[in-house]
Amino acid sequence: LVSREIYPHDTVIDVGNTPVGGDQFTIMAGPCAIESYEQLLETAQQVKASGATVLRGGAFKPRTSPYSFQGLGVEGLKIMEQVGKEVGMDTITEIMDVNDLDDVARYTSAFQIGARNMQNYTLLKAVGETKHPVLLKRGLSATIEELLLAAEYIVATGNPNVMICERGIRTFETATRNTLDLNAVAFIKEKSHLPVIVDPSHGTGVRTLVGPMAKAGVACGADGLIIESHRNPRESVSDAAQALSADDFSQLMQQLVPFIKAS
Ligand code: PEP
Ligand code: MN
């Protein structure tokens, strides 16, 4: 069902009021984690002013260490709903547990399925039973075929509103956090009608590399970008090394314009 052979036209998905796919180019941005109302509001105002239409931010955080900040949970979802309304942005947040499905769907415009849950088939089927848009992130060591089959789970269960996200994979390379696989973007655009979003933040893990790889993502055919930005990157409780300041983010958005127009 996700194949272009079955359905040749680009799928366009409505994330709240933001269309994703087809002729659109969508910028999703915000902090790694929702830390407080003030932090999310200020960051949202900054990224919106630079052109983002979808606000990202985790309320349920899949942290490597159990002692790291785990997110504000439902309280964070409520903050996200309020900030989204106040600033006029659509919203996306990660869902980790089927038990949170109703809350995440109620308070936000789209589900994000994180890399660590790409093959959580119970979760894939659960979001598949809704019509809520889903951004499916590639697993840390998942092949493109495994990624497309994970998307197939959601669509086959009944939810056609799936966006695929390339966020870097594990390789032997240690200079960067992950290796952003842009082959995957061009390949999936050829094989599937679903929108593809590039995440240069997790794809590199390095602030100075986010811009170059964002441009590369546009150039190879992505339908949008998801970028981590924080009102004060040094204070970010998670993924501080890859967060862009408001100035960095605004500069990058200006630099992207010719790439988006050309593609
Ligand atoms: C995130 O978007 O903050 C995140 C945890 O992403 P990933 O699942 O790609 O690691
Ligand atoms: Mn993050």
Please state the rounded mean pLDDT for residues 212-231. 98
Protein residue whose Cα sits closest to atom 8 of ligand 1: 114
Does residue 119 lie in a domain region?
A: yes
Domain span at residue 29 reads 13-59+71-256
pLDDT at residue 261, as a whole number = 79
Between CA 254 and CA 263 the distance in angstroms is: 15
Does residue 262 lie in a domain region?
A: no
Does residue 222 lie in a domain region?
A: yes
Q: In ligand 1, which atom is closest to the CA atom of 56?
A: 2
Asked if residue 214 has pLDDT above 80, the reply is yes
CATH number for the domain spanning 76: value is: 3.20.20.70
Digit-coded pLDDT (tens) for 8-36: 999 999 999 999 999 999 999 999 999 99
Does residue 2 lie in a domain region?
A: no
Asked if residue 123 has pLDDT above 80, the reply is yes
pLDDT at residue 262, as a whole number = 80
Protein residue whose Cα sits closest to atom 10 of ligand 1: 115
Does residue 263 lie in a domain region?
A: no
**64, 120, 137: which to mutate for ligand 1, most atoms within 8 A of CB?**
137
Cβ atoms within 10 A of the Cβ of 186, count? Answer: 15
Note whether 103 and 132 are within 8 A (CB): no
**112, 181, 197, 230: which to mutate for ligand 1, most atoms within 8 A of CB?**
112
Does residue 82 lie in a domain region?
A: yes
Q: What is the percent of the chain with per-residue pLDDT over 90, rounded to a whole number?
A: 98
Cβ atoms within 10 A of the Cβ of 142, count? Answer: 19
Asked if residue 263 has pLDDT above 90, the reply is no
Asked if residue 221 has pLDDT above 80, the reply is yes
Number of domains in the chain: 1
Burial code of 82-120, b = ≥16 C-beta within 10 A, e = fewer? ebbeebebbbbbbbbeeebbebbbebbbbbbbbbebbeb
Does residue 1 lie in a domain region?
A: no
Ligand minimally distant from the alpha carbon of residue 58: 1
Does residue 6 lie in a domain region?
A: no
pLDDT at residue 189, as a whole number = 98
Give me the chain's average pLDDT, please. Answer: 97
HSE-up (13 A, CA, CB side) for residue 5:
1
CB-based pocket (< 6 A), ligand 1: 32, 58, 62, 114-116, 137, 167, 202
Digit-coded pLDDT (tens) for 153-203: 999 999 999 999 999 999 999 999 999 999 999 999 999 999 999 999 999
